[in-house]
Structures are given as C-alpha cells and as structure tokens.
Amino acid sequence: MLLVLSAEHRAHLGCLPHAGHAAFGELGRLALEQLRRGAAPRACETAARKLNVGVDTIQHGVEGLVYLLTESSKLMISEVDFQDSINVLGFSDELNKSLLQLYLDNRKEIRTILGELAPKLPSYHSLEWRLDVQLASRSLRQQIKPAVTMKLHLNQNEDQTAQVLQTDPATLLHLIQQLEQALGEMKMNHCRRIVRNMK
C-alpha cells in the first residue's frame, strides 16, 4: 500500500533536499519531539538560527516529516512501500535512505503515541430489548402500533453506562440491513487489506 502525499505535503517536504545531513537530523529530531510533546515553536526558532534558515522552512519541514511518519506508521506500510511512496518526491538516494531509516527506527513508538492519542470509545457490554404493541387508543379502536425499546449497556473507562433507544420495526430492519451490508463489505479483499494494515 502506497502513501499518497498531497501537493501541500510535497511542498513541505521540498525543503529537505536543500538541508544538509545535520539539518535533516535536526528536522527529524524536531518532528519526533512534536509527536511526543506537541508543537514547540521555540525549538523551531532555535533550530532555524542554528542552521541559518528561515523559521517557516523549519516548521514546514517538520510538519511534512510528521505527516509522512504518522501516516506511514498508521498504515504500517512496508519498507518497500515506504521507499516507493517517497521515490515520487525525487530526492537523492542518500536522503531516501535517511528517511527510510527514520521511519523504521521510530514507527513502533509513533504507533504507540497515536494509540494513546486515539479517543477511548465505549465498548458493547450487553443489550436488553422489549417489543411493545399498542392495539387501541381512545381515538382509534383498532390499530397496531409496534415499538421496539432497547437498553444498550456500554463499558467506558471501567464505568458502565446505559442508553435507551426506541424505534419502530421498519427502521430497525433497515438498520440491520445496513449493518449486514457493512459486514459484507468488510469481507472484501480491499477492506481486509486496510484492516490488516491498521493493526
């Protein structure tokens, strides 16, 4: 699976060939620090003075590297796919090797950081349901009005919460069909590849 870089990210990475080996090392260090601790404008200013380049150039280079490293780590792309992804940038072999080494050395840590940043979503615990049917009312002597009431129990941060939902059978059937269709699509080869790369 290749990583597709937008024109903006290509432009941000465009400063790398003009930076020397020491400057690339500094940009790589700043990108990793930004992933670990967040943006640090002062560190970019210090690096810009030390390397005698503009602050914008440093910031764009760091942003480009952060995007390249995070997206590649998210997808866990292979060494060959990473090389193919950056070959389109037209960098020298030496710079491509440095980028590859930076990715290989740090992808596990980056995945760990991204995992910690991901929102903790509630997970399913159990479901209670009930079918109610209204057969008549004061205004209508004969009517059939079914309703399905569900109580969804969820786990979130070691706490249990419950959501009560009510719907009519037609809407519930439509929802079931949509979920079955989504599950069917998950069995397709393309989706399996995506899920495999996300793990």
The pTM for the full model equals: 0.60
The first and second tokens of residue 147, run together, are: 């309703």
**Same domain as 88, residue 16:** yes
Pair 35, 58 in one domain: yes
Q: What pLDDT sits at residue 148? A: 93
**Calpha distance 163→5 (Å, rounded):** 41
pLDDT tens digit sequence for 79-135: 888 888 888 888 888 888 988 899 999 989 998 888 887 777 888 899 999 999 888
Q: Give the end of a domain, one of 48, 83, 117.
A: 117
Residues 15 and 112 in one domain: yes
Q: Note whether 39 and 75 are same-domain residues.
A: yes
- Average pLDDT across the chain, whole number: 83
Residues 111 and 17 in one domain: yes
Considering its fold, how many domains does the chain have in total? 2
With a pLDDT cut of 70, the percent of the chain lying above it is: 89
What is the C-alpha separation between 135 and 150, in angstroms, rounded? 20
Residue 54: count other Cβ atoms within 10 Å of its Cβ: 11
C-alpha–C-alpha distance, residues 140 and 45, integer Å = 76
Mean pLDDT of 132-141: 79
Domain identity same for 106 and 141: no
Are 106 and 189 found together in one domain? no
Going by the DSSP 8-state scheme, the letter that residue 20 receives in this structure is -
Listed in sequence order, the DSSP H helices in 76-168 are 79-87, 93-117
**Region 155-183: what's the mean pLDDT?**
90
Domain boundary among 117, 145, 163: 117
Q: Which domain holds residue 185?
A: 123-198
Report in angstroms the alpha-carbon separations of 101 from 28, 82, 98, 172, 180. 11, 11, 5, 51, 43
Query: What CA–CA distance (Å, rounded) separates 54 from 58?
Result: 7
Same domain, 133 and 111: no
Percent of the chain predicted with pLDDT > 90: 19
pLDDT of residue 105: 92
Task: Give the pLDDT score at 118.
Answer: 72
Among 117, 150, 177, residue at a domain's last position: 117
In a domain, 62, yes or no: yes
Q: How confident is the model at residue 156 (pLDDT cuts 50, 70, 90)?
A: confident
Say if CB 197 and CB 75 are below 8 A apart: yes
Residue 21: which pLDDT band, with cuts at 50, 70 and 90?
A: low
Residue 128 near residue 137 (C-beta atoms within 8 A)? no
Looking at per-residue pLDDT, the higher value among 131 and 57 belongs to: 131
